[in-house]
Amino acid sequence: MVVASCTTYFPPNHHFQDTLVQVIENLHKFDGPDSDNRFEDLPYFGIFMRDFLNDWTEDYEFYPDEFRRNGWKVEEVVSRWKCMTSFYSRISFVGRGTMYGIWECRRALEEPDVNGPLMETRLYGATEFITRCGECWCDTYFKNPPVDLDEDSKRMFWLGRLVRDSDIPLFGKKRLEFWKRRLVDIKENWQRYKLDEVTPERLEGAILKLDSIITSIDWEAATERNG
């Protein structure tokens, strides 16, 4: 809990965040080689991070009165979210919590549009995971898609409302291409979404990364599954 809380105070690319990432890596490897239990040397860390990554924008969107009643300020929440997302995307890069990248892309790119700080926050999460660890979770889920997922596992990766009734598979080229198209559209219309003026550059970086990932995968060899 303490470690998860600390992540909200270290800005992206700050040396404190570098140190904490290394600490987590050292703890993970302290007791020998990698195991299936990715956080065995830091019990429940993954669970706490999952809870911390619950989308605050949904609380703000659907429960604005409660949000204000609790005294939360949008600017402060956005800042903490960026710190935490940046940190966790770097942890995912070394093989932990790779599914969170898909969650962030679903929130930002597969759900109905929002504007301003809400959209800014969701896009930050998606672009951070794409640029920092996109190859990692695309290798895990898209290049070698999981087979015979049970219903609970399918729900972890389900499609957002914009594409839920489409022919887009959970793990396939079409899903990545949809994300890319959405990023391109948002970049071209960033003012309509009331985004910060530095956001288009961040979106462009994610677009280039996605394009690189899409072209690097042998899609004929990678079995596309509808889940």
User: How much is the average pLDDT of 70-77?
Assistant: 70
Indicate if the pLDDT at residue 123 is higher than 70: yes
Tokens representing 218 are 């042998």
Q: Quick check: 42 pLDDT over 80?
A: no
Yes or no: say if 79 and 14 are a contact pair by the CB < 8 Å rule.
no
pLDDT at residue 137, as a whole number: 83
pLDDT band (50, 70, 90) for residue 26:
confident
Residues 6+ apart with CB under 8 A from 131: 205, 206, 209
CA dist 38 and 44 (Å) reads 10
* Average pLDDT score over residue span 27-50: 59
Q: Is the model's pLDDT at 192 over the cut of 60?
A: yes
What does the pLDDT read at residue 37?
Answer: 53
Task: Note the pLDDT of residue 226.
Answer: 40
Best-predicted range by mean pLDDT (20-34, 153-167, 195-209):
195-209
Prediction pTM value:
0.80
Given pLDDT bands bounded at 50, 70 and 90, which one contains residue 225? very low
pLDDT digits (tens, 9 = 90+) for 74-114: 777 777 778 878 887 777 655 555 678 888 899 999 999 98
pLDDT digits (tens, 9 = 90+) for 152-184: 878 888 999 999 999 999 888 999 999 999 999
Cα distance between residue 138 and residue 149, in whole Å: 17
